[in-house]
Structure 1
Amino acid sequence: MRILCSSTLIGEALLIMFAGLVAMKLTDVGAGTIWTVSAVAMVLCVLLCGVITRPGAVYVGWALQVAVLASGLVLPTMYAFGLVFGGLWWCSVHYGRRIDEIKARRAAAEESAPAVPATA
């Protein structure tokens, strides 16, 4: 789960950076406000990559997805990107957990299997 979720979050941090650049030109919101909000969201994305396996981190990721979707109030294209990244986040969490379960079952099966002697 860690790799899939981290990949989604890094992509989202880049999206937020580029959205901030576009928002500076297309909206009446001040550049300082845009970059303050964008910087906080980008830092949250990067920090969340490091703690994604801890309890509650996935919920923080969901809150971040809602915030990206809500940024459509300032830049309407973010509604579409928010939906796309929300879907990516769901896939990353859902399939990441399934992959982790498969890996755990495989590791348990390997531990319980008898060792095969090597032949010369």
Structure 2
Amino acid sequence: MSKDRPAPGDRIRPKKSALVQFTSTTLLLEVFLVLFATLVVWSLRDSEFGRGPLRIESAPVIWVLGGVLVLVLLVLSRAQGSPAGRAAGTVAQLPVLAMGLLVPMMFLVGGIFVVLWVYALRLGARVDRERAEYDAAHPETAPNTP
């Protein structure tokens, strides 16, 4: 028997959605981005260097805002199995970009993550579509659905 093909009666587990994996991973990476950006905003709160047009001087306010965004991104990373979760993830890109008002470099880094988000949406959907086409053309290797 070839190692590429399952033996008769083998249970073939369904593949995880590439779209869910890619979008969830992107949001989890943004959690780290926001955490480190919050640390930068906190450390620059008394400095004129590297500051954006929006100034927040209160350390607790900085950490609460950053912490809330981190929690929102964490929750959304687990909600990527539904279209509503992906729409909310798309909306969550706005506050990540808006951190550029606190630290201008975040416009660039946040913009890179917006591009990654769009790429994750498009590539994940394409991979899932191609997997479904392959499974339809090769039912003997298609996953067993309960």
Mapped partners of 2:87, 2:33: distance in 1: 20
Residue of structure 1 equivalent to 2:116: 88
Equivalent residue number for residue 26 of structure 1:
44
Q: Deviations over 1:48-104 (max 9, x none)?
A: 121112122222111111111111111111111110000000000010100110111
Pick aligned residue for 1:57 from 85, 88, 91:
85
Q: Normalising by structure 1, what TM-score?
A: 0.86
Aligned residues: 113
**Greater RCO (Cα-Cα under 8 Å, separation 6 or more):** 2
Find the residue that maps to 2:80 and give its secondary structure. Answer: coil
Gaps of 5+ in 1: 116-120
Q: TM-score, normalised by structure 2?
A: 0.72
Alignment correspondent of 1:2: 20
Fraction of identical pairs, as percent: 31
Name the structure 2 match of 1:45. 73
Write the letter of the residue equivalent to 1:67: P
Q: Please state whether the residue corresponding to 1:75 is helix, strand or coil.
A: coil
2: CA distance between counterparts of 1:98 and 1:29?
Answer: 45
Alpha-carbon contact 2:79-2:86 (below 8 Å) kept: no
In the aligned structure 2, how far is the partner of 1:41 from the partner of 1:103? 34
Q: Which residue of 2 aligns with 1:11?
A: 29
Which residue of structure 2 aligns with residue 118 of structure 1?
none
Tell me which stretches of 4 or more aligned residues in structure 1 moved more than 3 Å: none
TM-fit CA distance, 1:29: 2.7
Q: For 2:57 and 2:92, how far apart are their aligned partners in 1?
A: 21
